[in-house]
Amino acid sequence: MPVSIISRATWGAKPWNNDPSSDGPAYVPLTSRTEFFVHYDGAHHITRTGYAIPRAIEAEHLGNGWAGIGYNFVVDQAGNIYEGRGWTRQGAHCPNHNVSGIGVQVAIGGDQEPSEAALAACRALYDEACRRTGRALAKKGHKDGYATECPGPKLYKWVQAGMPTKSGTAPTAPSKPKPPAFPGRDKFRPGANNAYVTQLGKQLVKKGYGRFYKVGPGPKWTDADRRAVEAFQRAQHWTGADADGYPGPETWRRLFT
């Protein structure tokens, strides 16, 4: 699952340093990133929602005299991800770790419980960071790099547990199912009796060609198999010898993908 990030322009970030001519924080190549830091917002419960969350952090950080929001990303309880310094700019979230570390604030404070949506979004950012850098970044809480209470006991425990999500594994791009290897034409001919005939027949039923079978499918090759395969081949707009009812590698591939 690609990570959906609400851009600075969308949430209404101010120019870096409040100065339209500013180039903003220095660029950091992805090769420099080795760590992923989780933060929280400090002592107080966060009750604001939506764009007000990154805007409030930005106002505070600009007030510190920083270039703008100091985290690379901010995640809210609804699971929204807001762009701060993004993937490629130096952060201002943990001294001595602002180049090597990508800093993400989960916008909760005090003893607030992080939502599943927030944790899943934070984890998705972590996975995306690993994908982009080509390495497994070290999972850290702010306090691993600096003497602070941040990210609070609940988030810190979660980080130490390896940042698990309810779904078990992190959301990743769905992998395309690979068709099984074609077992060879000799497995599908009159007199054949094997597990591949069953596999073929079951797949034909799954694809909507079950009407040809009175019994089975499989493991014995029958005329029902031949007619079901032929119907499938004709549905590919194949004719003549290409639609003879005997599966070849291409029939097999299409049937299983």
Q: In the complex, which residues of this chain contact Zn ion (CB under 5 A)? A: 39, 142, 150
Query: Please, what is the minimum distance in Å from the beta carbon of residue 64 to Zn ion?
Result: 13
- Residue 74 contacts residue 96 (beta carbons within 8 Å): no
Residues 6+ apart with CB under 8 A from 218: 195, 197, 198, 199, 200, 201, 202, 225
Query: Please, what is the minimum distance in Å from the beta carbon of residue 148 to Zn ion?
Result: 6
Smaller CB separation from Zn ion, 97 or 226: 97
Smaller CB separation from Zn ion, 69 or 200: 69
Calpha distance 125→48 (Å, rounded): 22
Smaller CB separation from Zn ion, 89 or 143: 143
Query: Please, what is the minimum distance in Å from the beta carbon of residue 132 to Zn ion?
Result: 22
Nearest alpha-carbon partner for 41 in 74, 78, 8: 74
Calpha distance 225→197 (Å, rounded): 8
- Residue 53 contacts residue 109 (beta carbons within 8 Å): no
Query: Please, what is the minimum distance in Å from the beta carbon of residue 154 to Zn ion?
Result: 14
Nearest alpha-carbon partner for 151 in 206, 97, 108, 208: 108
Smaller CB separation from Zn ion, 94 or 204: 94
